[in-house]
Amino acid sequence: MSTARKPADSRSIANAKIYLQQEPDAEFRDQLQHLLDRVGQGDLDAGTELDDRFAGTLAFGTAGLRGAIGPGSNRMNRVVVARASWGLGAMLLEQGLGRPASDGVVIGFDGRRSSRRFAEDTAAILAGHGIPCWIFDTVAPTPLCAFAVRHLGAAAAVMVTASHNPPADNGYKVYQASGGQIVPPQDGQIAAHIAKAPAYAEMRRLTPFEAAQVGLRRAVPPEVRDAWHAAMRRVSLHPGAAADAPLSIVYTAMHGVGHRDVVLALRNAGFEGVAVVPEQADPDGAFPTVAFPNPEEPGAMDRALAMAAEVGADLVVANDPDADRLAVAVPLPEGGYRMLSGNEVGWLLGADALRHDPPAGWGEGPDRKLVVTTIVSSTMLGRMAEAMGADYAEVLTGFKWLAKAGDDALAAGTSRFVFGYEEALGYECGGLCRDKDGVHATVRFCELAASLKAQGQTILGALDQLALEHGLSVGAQWSHRLPGQDGLAQIATLMATLRADPPTALAGLPVTLRRDLKSDAVWSADGKAKPLGMPPSNVLVYKDADGTRLIVRPSGTEPKIKFYLEAVGRPRDVGAIAAVRAERQERLAAIRADLEARLGLQSEG
């Protein structure tokens, strides 16, 4: 959809002029002044752009603040980062945290453009509050930052990253003392303090030297990384698997920060000679070899798959730029490689965690196991948990909710978290950190693959066995990117349309259940369905008489509306799996076509 051209709103112009007086970077000041000059000359394109930059402010979404780098209250820049840091510091002080050295804040950053600068600004503002900081001296994976919170006994952490977002973006994640990302009401409390923040030039800040001199700035000690790697070795489910069945592994860091830690973690597990895609091994915020640094995007894995074909790899593994996600490709019997979906990797790792107990003496809580996934992920994990006598929970999208479910179960004494995942390639194995961890998940998956190989089995064969035991889940996920303020308005209109006139059938079969998680409203044909009792979220759920499920929601980190479909089949044997999958996929394709026609959306493939 093209963005409508229009004169700038007077409020956007006023906000831009106020912001211009605060912007510390000359380049951004020049950009904004040029934009204001164009607006003054009646340039409608400039008016539309100014509105997009200043009509709103970045708010904490599914995974913190994220947006394109540039001047404006709706962009990632030093002013926005300073205000967020000032608000975080004010909240910590209000709650009595932050002053003692033991209650400092960990600060990490990835290799994206401006990440180090934003991290330094965060440290300077928090030191100005009198809050001590531990700051990484170089780029770090997001899960290492999350691990460091609990290991150092910190009150909070900030990770500067936009994860798998486009190259133009950056972001700001906040962790609480438990090691999980902030959840309500903390995000609202920080936002309330941000609204009270003084002008950028009036915020007290300390230089690195000044902060170090008074004990408010320290480097994260190397032993934190050592402890993380030691913990990964300690909780292995298949120790020695690499020796029993060596694997040829190809790895790509996707121009991110995972290379050092993944190779080390795999070496610690016994996997030697990992082949690394050389041109994607080092951090590079320009992401020169990929248009979109997300392993799920078309073309992002091409170089890794080409290398795998050259060396005959048993396994291809990839992280996203901050190494909190894992993508996997496996060889096909007929040649070539197949990318596994996030759900498929989640099923395999989940089944492994349910079947094998971690080493004696490790972990917290009762013997009964808990596995967790999100409402948009496959329902397969729930079926596996029921069959294996474990607890199961579904939560809202975002790993902060998975971490909270594990903490809540531990506090209640009902079960012990052993695994959680979301379909967007995020996995948490055993709770070493309270966030998704692409490094630990890489080791876990490679050890699982080696264990299966030692038994004469394959990853694809293991997936077939799960389908026979627990049902064949077939999914389809797609999204429509609708950028700008007009795009956000269109997404809101699409959600409103579905609420006002919900679908009554999915490709000919009647809808038997509807849920609106924004209001927790539920309707079912038999009248038995109950509200889920989750925090309000802009999510719509539909199920039809065949059990097929459709979920619609706006993305919490990108300007997208996202759709998720799942249908379950029951193949009688391995030979029937392909036919059942094809039939289920055909049905999902029909539902998608009907839905897009109904909403006036053009398929993006």
Q: Is the pLDDT of residue 405 over 70?
A: yes
Q: At what angle do helices 484-500 and 44-54 cross, to 10 degrees?
A: 70
For residues 251 and 263, give the distance between their C-alpha atoms in angstroms, rounded to a whole number.
9
Sign of the Cα torsion 380, 382, 383, 388 reads positive
Same domain? For 189 and 270 the reply is no
CATH no. for residue 180? 3.40.120.10
Query: Taking residues 152-157, what's their average pLDDT?
Result: 94
For residues 586 and 590, give the distance between their C-alpha atoms in angstroms, rounded to a whole number.
6
CATH no. for residue 527? 3.30.310.50
For 105-132, the pLDDT digits (tens) are: 999 999 999 999 999 999 999 999 999 9
Name the β-bridge partners of 106.
134, 157
Instruction: Choose among 78, 86, 83: nearest CA to 120.
Output: 78
Answer whether the bond into residue 185 is a cis peptide, omega within 30°.
yes
Average pLDDT of the chain is 93
Q: Is the pLDDT of residue 1 over 80?
A: no
For 267-314, the pLDDT digits (tens) are: 999 999 999 999 999 999 999 999 999 999 999 999 999 999 999 999
For residues 327 and 452, give the distance between their C-alpha atoms in angstroms, rounded to a whole number.
19
Structural domain ending residue among the three candidates 447, 470, 493 = 470
Instruction: Choose among 144, 511, 524, 477: nearest CA to 341.
Output: 477
Element (H, E) at 159: strand 156-160
Same domain? For 264 and 148 the reply is no
Domain contains 333: yes
Domain contains 233: no
Instruction: Write the CB contacts of 47 (distance below 8 Å, at least 6 apart in sequence).
Output: 5, 6, 7, 8, 39
Q: How many residues appear in the chain?
A: 605
Structural domain ending residue among the three candidates 440, 470, 500 = 470
pLDDT in the model for residue 418: 94
Q: Is 255 in contact with 320 (CB distance < 8 Å)?
A: no
Same domain? For 14 and 89 the reply is no
Same domain? For 397 and 535 the reply is no
pLDDT in the model for residue 377: 96
* SS3 assignment, position 13: helix
For residues 31 and 75, give the distance between their C-alpha atoms in angstroms, rounded to a whole number.
13
Q: Is the pLDDT of residue 254 over 50?
A: yes
For 27-70, the pLDDT digits (tens) are: 999 999 999 999 999 999 999 999 999 988 888 776 689 999 99
Same domain? For 540 and 451 the reply is no
Q: Say which residue, 276 or 364, is predicted with more confidence.
A: 276
pLDDT in the model for residue 3: 52
Domain contains 463: yes
* SS3 assignment, position 306: helix
Could you list the active site residues?
A: 163
Domain contains 227: no
pLDDT in the model for residue 485: 78
Domain contains 383: yes
For residues 603 and 90, give the distance between their C-alpha atoms in angstroms, rounded to a whole number.
46
Share of the chain above pLDDT 90, in %: 87
Q: Tokens in use for 395?
A: 């939560």
Banded pLDDT at 602 (limits 50, 70, 90): confident
Banded pLDDT at 357 (limits 50, 70, 90): confident
Q: What is the DSSP letter of 575?
A: G
Same domain? For 551 and 591 the reply is yes
Same domain? For 34 and 83 the reply is no
pLDDT in the model for residue 4: 64
Domain contains 280: yes
Q: Is the pLDDT of residue 257 over 70?
A: yes
Q: Is the pLDDT of residue 2 over 50?
A: no
Domain contains 506: yes
For 491-546, the pLDDT digits (tens) are: 999 999 999 999 999 999 999 999 999 999 999 999 999 999 899 999 999 999 99
Same domain? For 371 and 385 the reply is yes
Quote the domain boundaries for residue 594. 471-599
Using a 10 angstrom Cβ sphere, with 0-12 exposed, 13-18 middle and 19 or more buried, the burial of residue 409 is: buried
Q: At what angle do helices 459-470 and 380-387 cross, to 10 degrees?
A: 70
For 197-239, the pLDDT digits (tens) are: 999 999 999 999 999 999 999 999 999 999 999 999 999 999 9
Same domain? For 195 and 163 the reply is yes
pLDDT in the model for residue 97: 63
Structural domain ending residue among the three candidates 32, 55, 78 = 55
- What domain count does the chain have? 4
Domain contains 492: yes
For 544-601, the pLDDT digits (tens) are: 999 999 999 998 777 899 999 999 999 999 999 999 999 999 999 999 999 999 999 9
Same domain? For 20 and 51 the reply is yes
Same domain? For 403 and 282 the reply is yes
Same domain? For 424 and 508 the reply is no
Using a 10 angstrom Cβ sphere, with 0-12 exposed, 13-18 middle and 19 or more buried, the burial of residue 226 is: exposed
Q: Is the pLDDT of residue 395 over 50?
A: yes
Q: Is 409 in contact with 364 (CB distance < 8 Å)?
A: no
Instruction: Choose among 32, 126, 49, 51: nearest CA to 81.
Output: 126
